[in-house]
Amino acid sequence: MNIIIIGGSDAGISAGLQAIELCPDAQVTLLVADAYPNFSICGLPFYLSGEVAHWKQLAHRTAADLQAAGLNVLERTMATRIFPKDQVVQAAGPDGPLRLPYDRLLIATGARSRTPPIKGLDTPGVFLLRWMDDARQLQQFIENQHVQSAAIIGGGYIGMEMADALTKRGIQVSLLEYQEHVLTTLDASLGKLVEGHLKDQGIKLVTRCTVQAITPSDAGCLIQTDSHSLHADLVLVATGSQPEVALAKDIGLPLGEQGAIRVTQKMETALKGIYAAGDCVQTWHRLLQQHVYLPLGSTAHKQGRVAGENMVGGERLFQGSLGTQVVKIFDLVVGRTGLKEQEAYEAGYAPMSLDVLADDHKAYYPGATPITLRITADWKSGKLLGAQLAGSYRAEISKRIDIFAAALYEGLTVEALNDLDLSYTPPLSSPWDPVQVAAQAWSKAQRSMNVRNS
């Protein structure tokens, strides 16, 4: 069995490792466009903050690890064309063109940074951040140009992490967000909470702000928005990503959500023997029971593993994403899973959301801090639809989000959260975990709602 994988990031590597794990006789070859196979894209902000001393530390596994696992990794090798009938991939490697036959092919080409309609994105000092090369260029620019001010366009996850990272380096950060609130995957109440935290850390935050043009100026870049203009030594454009599908399009593979490759839950494309996974594909949403575009590293790993299993004869289904995400912003951790209120409405539910404050552990034990928990659920059926949490770095926010994610996976009601036998010791929780305190508050509100409506 000859397996070719185009892409050496999360989905590609996971697929390769799983295929060889289940079928040690498989020949697995990975084509990696740059020289950084299996690097942690999610780690780039922490390299740029200075928390990670050397970029080489960002490798999940070294090339030697991958080799030892039995994967044949071709670095600086760009797939240029697929010939489905011949079952061959054409590629350009460091030593010239290659023709690589395959029995099974995985397209794991990932995504690239979305470039918004702003004039002057080619102005020196304007950067995107997606690949290791982007990060190293940014790092060099910050060091060589003695960057003192930065404007970040986009208040999403990367925008948050980079605001944190650049502030840690002593750079004054302005954050420009098009929407009414940052982190639009959260409802407004949590978005506002994050905004307060950003301002406390000295970030100059402007929301509802459309950037129109960037021009070079004596003082770095001049950024013109619909409301004001500002100077910054550095501009980082962090407005999301779009699937990298040129190769797939070229062979006529049908595209779905936001132009991502259509796949089944087995991660099969429309062409037999060709699979796709990761940021280049549409993602099955477990709650919505439909495909969405929701590119995430954790999802790419899962889809890759499923594809790897199925390429060697498995029958595994990708069980779906819940859009679970978490981000650390200075000392605040914010996470979410499932649907936010508007998404729940649009999906036909009767959502009711409630924000609850509960201490992360018993108040009598030192160091207790409040967690904000927002539960969204259907007020008719009580079905849990989503949860959003914010609290201190040390408040186990991310794994509490995961309790909700596990409950959503199984389609539990809010009330059923109270039946979970969660762990308790006073330094780490309460007899009712904050997750359950919030569930009980939601149930109480649901009862009032039902009384009003009966």
Residue 395 Cβ, how far from its own copies at the closest point, in Å? 10
* Between 321 and 372, CB nearer to its own copies: 321
Residue 111 DSSP SS3: strand
97 phi and psi, to 5 degrees? Answer: -75, 155
How many C-beta atoms lie closer than 10 Å to residue 413's C-beta? Answer: 18
Residue 15 burial (10 A CB sphere; 0-12, 13-18, 19+): buried
Pick 274 or 326: Cβ nearer its own copies: 326
Determine contact, residues 21/311, Cβ cutoff 8 Å.
no
Q: In what order do the strands lie in the sheet with 332-338?
A: 325-329, 332-338, 384-392, 370-378, 351-359
Q: For tokens 């289940």, what's the residue?
A: 22
Closest by Cα among 21, 26, 231 to 125 = 231
Q: For its own copies, give the closer residue by CB, 100 or 435.
A: 435
Q: Which is nearer to its own copies, 318 or 379 (CB)?
A: 318
Binding site for its own copies (CB under 8 A): 10, 21, 40, 42-43, 46, 51-52, 57-58, 60, 286, 296-302, 305, 319-328, 333, 335, 337, 362-366, 393-394, 396, 398-403, 405-407, 409-410, 416, 418-429, 431-433, 444
State the Cα–Cα distance between residues 69 and 21, nearest whole angstrom. 9
Closest CA to 169 of 215, 200, 138: 138
How far is it, in rounded angstroms, from Cα 221 to Cα 166?
Answer: 17
Strand pairing category for 96-101 and 149-153: unpaired
Name the residue nearer to its own copies (CB basis): 21 or 268: 21
**Closer CB to its own copies, residue 119 or residue 444?**
444
Nearer to its own copies, 94 or 451 (CB): 451
Instruction: Name the minimum Å distance from CB 308 to its own copies.
Output: 12
- Min dist CB 328 to its own copies, Å, is 5
- The pair of structure tokens assigned to 53 is 């001393």
Q: In the chain, what is the greatest distance between 2 CA atoms, to the nearest angstrom?
A: 75
Cβ closest to its own copies, residue 29 vs residue 321: 321
Nearest approach, Cβ of residue 265 and its own copies (Å): 11
> Which of 53/117 has CB closer to its own copies?
53
Shortest Å distance, C-beta 135 to its own copies: 13
Provide φ and ψ at 205, rounded to 5°: -105, 130
Beta-carbon count within 10 A of 1 CB: 14
CA 416 to chain centre: 29
Min CB(24)–its own copies separation in Å? 11
CB 319, min distance to its own copies, A: 4
User: Rounded to an integer, what distance in angstroms lies between the CA atom of residue 21 and that of residue 25?
Assistant: 9
Return the structure tokens found at 210: 């459309």
For residues 68 and 363, which CB has a smaller minimum distance to its own copies in the complex? 363
Cα–Cα distances (Å) from 179 to 33, 183, 205, 208, in that order, read: 34, 9, 12, 5
Alpha helices for 49-123 (secondary structure H):
63-68
End-to-end CA separation in angstroms for the chain: 63
**Cβ 424 to its own copies, closest distance in Å?**
4
The residues, any chain, with a CB within 8 Å of residue 435's CB and separated by 6 or more, are 373, 387, 400, 403, 404, 417, 420, 422
Query: Least separation, in Å, of the C-beta of 409 and its own copies?
Result: 5
Shortest distance in whole angstroms from residue 417 CB to its own copies: 9
Strand order of the β-sheet with 2-6 is 71-74, 27-31, 2-6, 104-107, 274-276
Closest to its own copies by CB, 52 vs 121, is 52
8 A C-beta contact, residue 345 and residue 351: yes
**Least distance (Å) from its own copies to the CB of residue 230?**
29
